Every structure is written in structure tokens, then in C-alpha cells.
Amino acid sequence: MHWVHQGVYPDPRIGLNNYQIPDVSDEFNDKMDLAHCSYLPDGRNPWQDPYWYRTEIEVPSSFRNRRVWLHLDGINYRADAWINGKKVADHSEVVGMFRRFKFDVTDLVRAGKKNCLAVKICQTDHPGTQLKVFGPWSFL
């Protein structure tokens, strides 16, 4: 089934939707003809470049003189994180598949003001082909 993609992939947790999303492995994408699923105009693998997440968070004034923690839940695979332009952690610390991380950002957060959080997420170090996980009747 070929479908037109508008920059949003189907929920990978439902059925076999994950086979309608390009993989980090170009070898697997070629094998499964997933280049047509890329939202990039040239059909390039969308996971080759880092992804950025940025948001502004209003920290309540009541947080003055309290410890403030940044929780990163489910990062995949490496990341760098900044609060207000100051690096909190880099990709040598934040590494692993869907791991959770917690950093004390008390000294970086401005209570009673907007604070900027930026996270740069990079792909896995060694993308490879997916394993056959469905047994002998697998279509892989």
C-alpha cells in the first residue's frame, strides 16, 4: 500500500504501522522499499540528521530556593540538552535506547521567568538491519 505522507507517520505502536515508517538503516529501507515513505522531497532517509526539540517553560516564582530537575524520558539514541543556552548534558552522557535521565538544573533555571529548553537528538551509532522477530512465517 502506498500512501501520501504529510510529515506525520502512523502510530508505530498499532499493528504493523512501524513498517510504514523509514528505518534508521538505509539497508533495511532499500530492502523494504521504504524510501517512498520519507517526507523529505528527495526521498532521503529522515533519520540521518539530528532532530531538535525546543520549547519555553515558565518556571513559577515559587520555585525560588528549590531544587529543579530536568527529566528526559525515552531519548533514543543520543542527545545534547541545554537550558537557557547552557549545556546540561551531552551525547556522551545521554545515550541509550529509550533510557531515562535526570539532571539537576537548579542553577540554570530562572524562577518566575520563561526558560528555554533545547534538545538535539541523534540517531543510533550503528544502524543495522532489523531482526526477524515474527518467526518462520515473517514477511521480512
| pTM for the full predicted model | 0.70
pLDDT per residue over 8-60, tens digit each?
677 878 887 877 777 777 787 788 777 777 777 777 777 778 889 999 999 99
pLDDT per residue over 62-81, tens digit each?
999 999 999 999 888 899 99
Q: Which amino acid is at 123?
A: Q
Report residue 95 as a C-alpha cell. 545515550
Distance CA 43, CA 48 (A): 12
